[in-house]
């Protein structure tokens, strides 16, 4: 069984191909980062126009990389939400057109589920790790034993704790009440004079810090598994003002201060994300943890999970953490195997969610 996945929910145009063993046969990404960087963030109209330009070549490249043709595909999966409406429309309509002309079944995929299902993918090329297959077996073993997996989904638009139960149903355990973690990285980077996207920049600059800056506060949101990251963003802004980093000074920006503040910010976000995920996993007696989404590419976050967790932690390789088509193909494969087929009425759902609080009672 071979599934092609198309992803155009935000600012990456991507097509990925997986087979039934989860092997990633291709994962082509056309990033728009440089286009949006000059505006300091994503411009939705520009994003959707760029998807129109990139989507067909990206799909063709994925097929030729995998040395496959249309007749080899069993299903075509596409992200239909959540995301930017104008961007989602491009992928969904291209997928419908391709399915109509080739007769290949269409499967709509929830982008958030895609991020989590990336944990089952087996990367190829430079990302290939022996561990991928072990991770997959481990997760299937935990679910097969009737245990749940606690999933932390951290991206530019989402910060959610989602419980995946042994029936493979998702249940929302907690979510951000304001900014997503990635959004906090991006906005804080802007205050620090760093380019978009802010996550990798903050990680790079924080790694150069030589003196420990005064720690920034942590919003624990006690009594719930919800998050809040708007306060830390304001704390960064206030300290940046106090230290003369923001607004951008005329002369040289004091690099040591920027590095210290970037590290204090990163330490705070990582501490909150790891601590709350470990607590939730313990309360729900989970057998493993998955960390997924663009922010899961963060080195110190990955290290903190591996060093602090007693439970096994699965974090996809970086190319499968940030938005990509292979994770959509993975989720499409799971849905297709489950019997899901979508018709021409498949529409974009910009506000699509994953799991819901009221289903938690059944856990
Ligand atoms: O999942 P993703 O590619 O797109 C969304 O669905 O939002 O996540 C993008 C987010 C951005 O906010 C970006 O700054 C963040 O992931 N990110 C990182 C790192 N790499 C990407 N955040 C922290 N550290 C990183 N290394
Ligand atoms: Zn994403």
Task: Tell me the pLDDT tens digit for each residue of 138-173.
Answer: 999 999 999 999 999 999 999 999 999 999 999 999
- In angstroms, the CA 201 to CA 204 distance is 5
Is the distance from the beta carbon of residue 186 to the nearest atom of ligand 1 less than 6 Å? yes
- In angstroms, the CA 89 to CA 202 distance is 32
- In angstroms, the CA 35 to CA 32 distance is 5
Distance from the CA of 18 to the center of ligand 2, in angstroms?
A: 18
The string of pLDDT tens digits covering residues 286-345 is 999 999 999 999 999 999 999 999 999 999 999 999 999 999 999 999 999 999 999 999
Q: Is 137 helix (H, G, I), strand (E, B) or coil?
A: helix
Any idea which residue has 């602090």 for tokens? 308
Could you tell me the fold of the domain covering 2-126+318-337? Answer: Nucleotidyltransferase; domain 5 (3.30.420)
Q: Is 178 helix (H, G, I), strand (E, B) or coil?
A: coil
- DSSP single-letter state for residue 176: B
Q: Which two tokens stand for residue 305?
A: 């999970």
Is the distance from the beta carbon of residue 153 to the nearest atom of ligand 1 less than 6 Å? no
Q: Above 80 in pLDDT, residue 357?
A: no
Q: Above 70 in pLDDT, residue 353?
A: yes
At residue 127, the pLDDT reads 72
Could you tell me the fold of the domain covering 145-314? Answer: Nucleotidyltransferase; domain 5 (3.30.420)
Residue extent(s) of CATH 3.30.420.40 domains in the chain: 2-126+318-337, 145-314
**Ligand with smallest separation from the Cα of 321:** 1
Mean pLDDT rounded to a whole number for the chain: 95
pTM above 0.85, yes or no: yes
Q: Which helix (H) or strand (E) holds 160?
A: strand 159-164
Distance from the CA of 183 to the center of ligand 2, in angstroms?
A: 12
Distance from the CA of 213 to the center of ligand 2, in angstroms?
A: 31
At residue 358, the pLDDT reads 46
Buried (b) or exposed (e) across 268-299, using 16+ Cβ within 10 A? bbbbbbbebbbebbeebebbbbbbbbbbbbbe
Any idea which residue has 């990285």 for tokens? 185
Is the distance from the beta carbon of residue 203 to the nearest atom of ligand 1 less than 6 Å? yes
- Could you give the dihedral angle defined by the CA atoms of residues 177, 181, 183 and 186, in that order, rounded to the nearest 10 degrees? 150
């Amino acid at each position: 069984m071979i599934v092609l996945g198309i992803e155009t929910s935000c600012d990456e145009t991507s097509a990925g191909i997986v087979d039934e063993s989860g092997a990633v046969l291709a994962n082509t990404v056309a990033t728009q980062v440089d286009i949006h960087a000059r505006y300091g963030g994503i411009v939705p109209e520009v994003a959707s126009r760029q998807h129109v330009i990139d989507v067909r070549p990206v799909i063709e490249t994925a097929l030729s990389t995998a040395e496959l043709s249309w007749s080899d595909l069993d299903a075509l999966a596409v992200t239909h939400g959540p995301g930017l409406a104008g961007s989602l429309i491009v992928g969904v309509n291209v997928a419908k057109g391709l399915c109509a002309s080739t007769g290949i079944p269409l499967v709509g995929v929830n982008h958030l589920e895609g991020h989590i299902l990336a944990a089952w993918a087996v990367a190829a090329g430079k990302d290939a790790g022996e561990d991928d297959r072990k991770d997959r077996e481990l997760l299937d073993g935990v679910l097969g034993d009737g245990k749940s997996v606690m999933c932390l989904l951290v991206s530019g638009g989402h910060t959610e704790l989602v419980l995946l139960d042994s029936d493979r149903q998702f249940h929302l355990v907690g979510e951000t009440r304001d900014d997503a973690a990635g959004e906090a990285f991006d906005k804080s980077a802007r205050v620090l004079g760093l380019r978009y996207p802010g996550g990798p920049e903050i990680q790079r600059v924080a790694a150069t810090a030589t003196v420990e800056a005064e720690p920034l506060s942590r919003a624990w949101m006690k009594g719930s598994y919800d998050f809040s990251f708007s306060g830390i963003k304001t704390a960064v802004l206030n300290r940046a003002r106090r230290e003369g980093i923001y607004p951008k000074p005329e002369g040289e920006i004091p690099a040591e201060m920027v590095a210290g503040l970037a590290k204090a910010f990163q330490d705070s976000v990582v501490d909150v994300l790891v601590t709350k995920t470990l607590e939730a996993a313990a309360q729900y007696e989970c057998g493993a943890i998955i960390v997924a989404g663009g922010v899961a590419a963060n080195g110190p976050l990955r290290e903190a999970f591996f060093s602090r967790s007693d439970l096994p932690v699965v974090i996809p390789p970086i190319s499968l953490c940030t938005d990509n088509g292979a994770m959509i193909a993975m989720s499409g494969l799971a849905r297709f195997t489950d019997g899901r087929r979508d018709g021409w009425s498949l529409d974009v759902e910009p506000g699509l969610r994953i799991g819901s609080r009221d289903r938690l009672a059944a856990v």
